[in-house]
């Protein structure tokens, strides 16, 4: 009896998670959304059969990081028994990233990339995980090689080209980055293309090149006023930065638009637009509702620290008129 309903339960949980992840895609067609949810549900059931540990599928009243860690441990045990599963290592990498274990995620994806060097999707994820594990969020030579290999195997892979452009920009190869990103434009929707054009213009400016004719910075979709708390200068060094972020409501923690500004001389209002979207393929304008928040970081790092200060989140529907007011508790 247990052997029958536990895979079904695993499939149901995977389908629910897929519904959350794929929810933004429902606007592009209900059929594709439903098919995606069902497909990932079936994949969840198959994953249970792969791992095959009923104890890992026991349902807890309230999901927690501890239960997720238990699931990761079960997956690690399965990979010890069958270490040649590239898909298993990739899944472990995603799970470790969800737990915030950037180094462990990078190691798992490195194993996946070694086992599946012809899978451009795995190579891209491995490169991104490696950069996330780096203190400076830099794409090193290995990550760069993976991105170039992925792009050679799948020239139309948008994520590979986008990340490769970032890696080139980090190395000061701004003209090359602009050329890589320019090749993406014909394949993007208008909103995403406009956001990417803003990044291309910045890269060309850094390279000392003339901007493309007709390329204009996308307008701000949100105006945000941050009511900064009273801070003692001695406690907040010159490196202190203020992040103004917009995140998808009910989505992953990665922002859909972000600005980073120094605390000293912080402006009265901050504009957020498609040009501030980390991923041009998912710009701010593609979302109907976002959660806006500000964070004050002593280190200036994009990764949140325990001593950072964060404002009270505000939900906003797009398009939005007026100014979003953010206050700290």
pLDDT for 91-133, tens place per residue? Answer: 999 999 988 899 999 999 999 999 999 999 999 999 999 999 9
Q: Extract the tokens encoding 66.
A: 């501890």
- Give every CB contact of residue 100 below 8 A, 6+ residues apart in sequence: none
The owner of tokens 């003692």 is: 232
Domain 2-130 bears CATH identifier 3.90.1150.10: no
C-alpha 57/C-alpha 133 separation (Å) is: 29
For residues 86 and 92, what is the distance between their CA atoms, to the nearest angstrom? 10
pLDDT, the chain, mean: 79
Average pLDDT along the chain, 329 residues, taken 10 residues at a time: 44 44 42 44 45 44 64 90 94 90 95 96 96 91 96 92 92 92 83 78 84 60 90 76 91 85 86 80 84 91 84 92 92
Residue 88: predicted pLDDT: 93
Q: What is the pTM of this model?
A: 0.53
What are the structural domain ranges in the chain?
A: 2-130, 220-327
Residue 291, judged by CB atoms within 10 A of its CB (0-12, 13-18, 19+), counts as middle
pLDDT of residue 281: 66
């Amino acid at each position: 009896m247990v052997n029958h309903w536990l895979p079904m339960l695993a499939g149901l949980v995977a389908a629910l998670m897929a519904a959350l992840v794929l929810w933004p895609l429902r606007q592009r067609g209900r059929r594709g959304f439903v098919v995606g949810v069902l497909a990932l549900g079936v994949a969840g059931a198959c994953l249970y059969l792969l791992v095959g540990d009923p104890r890992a599928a026991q349902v807890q009243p309230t999901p927690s990081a501890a239960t997720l860690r238990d699931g990761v441990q079960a997956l690690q045990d399965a990979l010890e028994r069958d270490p040649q599963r590239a898909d298993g290592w990739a899944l472990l990498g995603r799970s470790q990233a969800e737990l915030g274990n950037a180094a462990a995620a990078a190691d798992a994806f490195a194993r996946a990339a070694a086992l599946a060097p012809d899978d451009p999707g795995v190579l891209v994820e491995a490169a991104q995980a490696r950069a996330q594990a780096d203190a400076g969020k830099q794409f090193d030579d290995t990550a760069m090689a993976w991105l170039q290999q992925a792009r050679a195997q799948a020239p139309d892979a948008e994520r590979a080209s986008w990340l490769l452009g970032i890696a080139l920009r980090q190395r000061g190869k701004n003209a090359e980055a602009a050329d890589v990103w320019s090749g993406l434009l014909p394949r993007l929707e208008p909103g995403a293309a406009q956001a990417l054009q803003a990044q291309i213009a910045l890269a060309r400016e850094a390279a000392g090149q003339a901007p493309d004719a007709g390329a204009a910075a996308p307008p701000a979709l949100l105006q945000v006023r941050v009511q900064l708390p009273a801070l003692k200068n001695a406690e907040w060094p010159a490196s202190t930065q203020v992040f103004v972020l917009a995140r998808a409501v009910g989505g992953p923690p990665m922002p859909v638009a972000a600005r980073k500004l120094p605390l000293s001389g912080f402006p009265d209002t901050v504009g957020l637009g498609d040009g501030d979207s980390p991923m041009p393929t998912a710009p701010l304008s593609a979302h109907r509702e976002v959660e806006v928040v500000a964070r004050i970081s002593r280190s200036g790092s994009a990764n949140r620290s325990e001593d950072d200060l964060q404002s009270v989140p505000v939900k906003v529907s797009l398009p939005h008129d007026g100014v979003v007011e953010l206050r700290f508790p």
